[in-house]
A and B are shown apart, each in its own frame.
Chain A
Amino acid sequence: MKFSVIVTLKKDVLDPQGKVVENTLRNIGMEDLKSVRQGKYFEIEINIGDPKKAEKKVDDMCKKLLANLVIEDYKVCKI
């Protein structure tokens, strides 16, 4: 079973890299841009057949290592 995990900085945490990307997109003429937040993407394959159990395992991985919950949020999706 395969999952994707997206980790981003929390809303109230300054994201200077996202800000630079945002400004650059504006500079190259991308209109209607509201904001950009930069994050990390993981693809995780897991040897558990039961989707619920598998997702719980990935959730555990996020909490224990992939995300730092002081500054980051994460989202798990089955793919």
Chain B
Amino acid sequence: MNSSVIVFPGSNCDRDIAVALEKMQFKNRMVWHKETALPKSDLIVIPGGFSYGDYLRSGAIAGKSLIITEVIKAANSGCLVLGICNGFQILTETGLLEGALLRNKNLKFINKDVNIKVTNNQTKFSKKYKKDQVLKINIAHNEGNYFTNPEHLKKLNEESLIAFKYCDTKGKVDEENNPNGSLENIAGVYNSKKNILGMMPHPERMVDKMISNKDGINLFSSLLN
């Protein structure tokens, strides 16, 4: 499987995701944001970081970069796209995913391992997980507070487009286990066709027991089959 990781000035999780993809036997290429063509890709990853220093809004400037036009074209023709953290913010800025990521409710940058629940395990990104499986995944963000309009929120629920929700170790979803103020504890969402996933937690940081755990592995192995 061929993957491309898009690199912006200020991306800082691009190496981590590349290592995770290569560990999972993806043939990965790094693609600089000024490129005007994408290599043949089954999966495009927009990595975490602080593209353009979060100037204007997180992801706003990267969302207008040259390569993004190609990413939008590929996404619209069915290519799998994964946006992690700043990548999620960029995907909402491009309009590929609806909604927006606001400043964390407590105004603090949060860097910690949190529990998230797999709310939909029927997608190309999640089929190796069990339904409602609880994962421990790292988050590290200042703007992760997912917001969308009431109609879209309804659609997210009705069409099972919510990928992950923040929860406790047993899978209980409540305000106490909502780190950033996201609507309905949303940690990740799909587009209608479910070929685009945006998520704030970092699965690429959870692929090796020596440094964390392996809870992120199944996201990548789901994509391989």
Contacts and interface: CB of A to CB of B under 8 A. Distances in A.
A47 B145 CA distance: 39
A68 B100 contact: yes
B64 interface: yes
Contacts of B105: 14, 16
B57 A20 contact: no
Contact of A70 (B56, B92, B104, B106): B92
B57 A68 contact: yes
A70 B147 CA distance: 9
Contacts of B100: 68, 70-71
A17 interface: yes
B23 to A, nearest CB: 35
B99 interface: yes
A13 interface: yes
A66 B107 contact: no
Given A65-B64, A68-B60, A68-B93, A16 B107 contact: yes
B56 A65 contact: yes
Given A13-B147, A16-B107, A65-B64, A70 B99 contact: yes
Given A14-B181, A65-B56, A70 B148 contact: yes
Nearest to A20: B107
Nearest to B59: A68
A23 B66 CA distance: 42
A31 B17 CA distance: 52
B103 interface: yes
Interface in A18-71: 20, 64-66, 68, 70-71
Nearest to A69: B100
B104 to A, nearest CB: 8
B102 interface: yes
A71 B105 CA distance: 15
A51 B94 CA distance: 30
B225 interface: no
Contacts of A70: 92, 98-100, 147-149
Contacts of A13: 102, 147
Interface string B91-123: 011000011101111110000000000000000
Given A14-B181, A65-B56, A71 B102 contact: yes
Contacts of B57: 68
A16 B102 CA distance: 10
Closest 4 CB pairs of A and B: A70-B100, A71-B100, A16-B107, A68-B100
11 contacts: A13-B102, A14-B102, A14-B105, A16-B103, A68-B100, A70-B98, A70-B99, A70-B100, A70-B147, A71-B102, A71-B147
